[in-house]
Amino acid sequence: MNMVEIKDIGKTYRQGKVLVHALDGITLSIKTGEFTALSGPSGSGKTTLLNLIGGLDTPSRGTIILDNDPITDLSQSQLADIRLNKIGFVFQAYNIIPVLSARENVEYVMLMQGVPAKKRTERAKAVLDDVGLSGMHDRRPAELSGGQQQRVAVARAIVSNPAIVLADEPTANLDSHTGQGLLEMMARMNEQRNVTFIFSTHDPMVMGFSRRIIRLKDGKVTDDLQKQR
């Protein structure tokens, strides 16, 4: 089953007096349970494509279907519901809330979803243990290393069992050892929970872990490599 279907997507925006074609006629599909990297030089369109899949931006043309739901013509409030209930996001800047503990950060999405407090706490603690942060539930971000903060971000992304996790340069601010540990953890989540992961990345290590690499250049797909498992 396809988790993502992208049909003739284009994205154009204006930079001063110049029209920039960030994406130009991209068509591809990503199956449920894939572990896929979007790669390419800066300006190739990979982050733009990730943002369109996540409903953070809207295309100039074409259709995106996410988990059987067409999302291209939805209102902002409908897109917000899709993001809340179907998508986990991991950003390179972590984007965790400094005044909240690790557990409270992980609980935040479930709080927005209306999950009861007892269940929120149980699930947050379990997923923090899963990502290697047992004993650190009550620490605030300032008391955690960069790698540990990114693990909190991953725990928050997966705690509500989203259909898909979108990760934009998740290893960019991490040393190679920490980055490898994070990728091993996400690969394990992918295997055990069949969560679909799509990365936007420059990092050769992320591409090494990924089982499919979609290369972009100048807003077009130039290569689509599926590795043998």
Asked if residues 39 and 214 have their Cβ atoms less than 8 Å apart, the reply is yes
Domains in the chain: boundaries:
33-51+75-226
Q: How many residues are there in the chain?
A: 229
Choose among 128, 45, 59, 50: nearest CA to 92. 50
Instruction: Give the whole-angstrom CA distance, residue 88 versus residue 172.
Output: 18
What are the tens digits of pLDDT across the range 145-200? Answer: 988 998 899 889 888 888 899 999 888 888 888 888 889 888 988 888 888 999 99
- Dihedral angle, C-alpha 42, 33, 157, 165, nearest 10 °: 30
Instruction: Give the whole-angstrom CA distance, residue 196 versus residue 173.
Output: 23
Q: How confident is the model at residue 46 (pLDDT cuts 50, 70, 90)?
A: very high
The predicted structure's pLDDT at residue 45: 92
Q: How confident is the model at residue 229 (pLDDT cuts 50, 70, 90)?
A: low
CATH classification of 33-51+75-226 is 3.40.50.300, yes or no? yes
Q: Please tell me the pTM assigned to this model.
A: 0.90
Other beta carbons less than 10 A from residue 156's beta carbon: 27
